[in-house]
Amino acid sequence: MGVKPLSPFDLSLAAMLVLALGILSWRLRLGLEKRLAISALRTTVQLLFIGQVLRVLFTHANFIFVFTISMVMLLVAGREVVARQHRRIRGLQGWFLGTGSMFVSSFAVAFFALAVVIAKDPWYTPQYAIPLLGMLLGNTMNGIALSMDRMTETLWQQRRIVEQRLLLGQTSLEAIHEIRQQAMRSGMIPIINSMAAAGLVSLPGMMTGQILGGSSPMDAVKYQILIMFLICAGTGFGVITAITLTCRKLFDDRQRLRLEVLQKH
């Protein structure tokens, strides 16, 4: 038994809930109604567009097409990482830090899963590659954005303490050791919480989708366990890479703090 198709009317009923939330936000003067409307519109347009693209892609499995879609996803995710930071590294450097960290972590983990664990022939089969990479990028993006934002904001607030530690002879890594640890924890807490609550508090999206599609619950569970482990690894590696590279940008070769590289969003 397949999934029951949804009509435009069905989707409009769900959209009414978002509209009601927007009205409530306006009445309470939360100032979120505009952002809700834009986000809902973006979600609708983007998902309808990617649905058409994937329909063509699934019909004609081609490595170049899969790679191109993957790179577009990566570039957009890199932009979102920068946009979510209150204080970010100036220019393209901040964008390269987030994007590069996601490329190293998400793409490496996705390739391992596709080529070694799932081992579908070909390994870049779009029905597996695109959803898997999308879930990895989405969660890694959130983790990296949270960790980099926590790192730069806390460092800005505690800049005088860090500079005093440097004057006392500590190295840059020693001076920001606690800040660095807190930033990494901030980026990894969401996925750790998701893993801890999976099954008891929530049914993750991929598992729910497979069950709705008619898959065996146990098969869906096994794939969800795989996905959770991959997301955890991808997020962790991405966060550690991003914070390590950010720390290098915030200090010069003489161990001096370079706050001028930060730009308030």
- Give CA–CA dist 173/162, Å, rounded: 10
- Are residue 98 and residue 120 in the same domain, yes or no? yes
Q: Total structural domains in the chain?
A: 2
In a domain, 1, yes or no: no
In a domain, 2, yes or no: no
- Are residue 104 and residue 219 in the same domain, yes or no? yes
By three-state DSSP, how is residue 20 classified?
A: helix
pLDDT, tens only, 72-116: 999 989 888 888 888 888 778 888 888 999 998 999 999 999 999
Which stretches of 103-253 are DSSP H helices? 108-112, 126-157, 159-167, 172-175, 177-197, 205-212, 217-249
- Give CA–CA dist 143/187, Å, rounded: 4
- Are residue 40 and residue 81 in the same domain, yes or no? no
Task: Report which of 257, 237, 254, 19 is spatially closest to residue 111, judged by C-alpha positions.
Answer: 237
Residue 199 in contact with residue 104, Cβ under 8 Å?
no
pLDDT, tens only, 128-171: 888 889 889 988 999 999 999 999 899 888 889 988 998 888 88
In a domain, 31, yes or no: yes
Sign of CA dihedral 240, 72, 79, 47: negative
- Are residue 49 and residue 71 in the same domain, yes or no? no
- Structure tokens given for 36: 């809700």
- Are residue 19 and residue 90 in the same domain, yes or no? no
In a domain, 191, yes or no: yes
Asked which of 42-51, 153-162, 251-260 is least confident by mean pLDDT, the reply is 251-260
pLDDT, tens only, 169-191: 888 888 889 999 999 999 999 88
Helices 63-83, 126-157: axis angle to 10 degrees equals: 20
Q: Of 40, 59, 78, which one is at a domain's C-terminal end?
A: 59
pLDDT, tens only, 1-19: 556 777 888 889 999 999 9
- Are residue 124 and residue 253 in the same domain, yes or no? yes
pLDDT, tens only, 19-42: 999 999 999 988 888 999 999 999
In a domain, 106, yes or no: yes
Position 19 scores a pLDDT of 93
Radius of gyration of the chain (CA): 21
- Are residue 85 and residue 49 in the same domain, yes or no? no
- Are residue 117 and residue 195 in the same domain, yes or no? yes
Residue 75 structural domain: 67-264
Position 226 scores a pLDDT of 87
| Residue keyed to tokens 């109604």 | 33
| Residue keyed to tokens 């709705």 | 212
- Are residue 42 and residue 73 in the same domain, yes or no? no
In a domain, 99, yes or no: yes
- Are residue 259 and residue 128 in the same domain, yes or no? yes
For residue 87, report the phi and psi dihedrals to the nearest 5 degrees: -120, 120
3-state helix, strand, coil in the chain (%, to 5): 80, 5, 20
pLDDT, tens only, 194-228: 888 777 666 666 666 666 666 677 887 888 888 88
CA distances for 2 relative to 209, 214, 219, angstroms: 11, 6, 16
Please give the average per-residue pLDDT across 58-73, as a whole number.
85
Residue 176 in contact with residue 155, Cβ under 8 Å?
yes
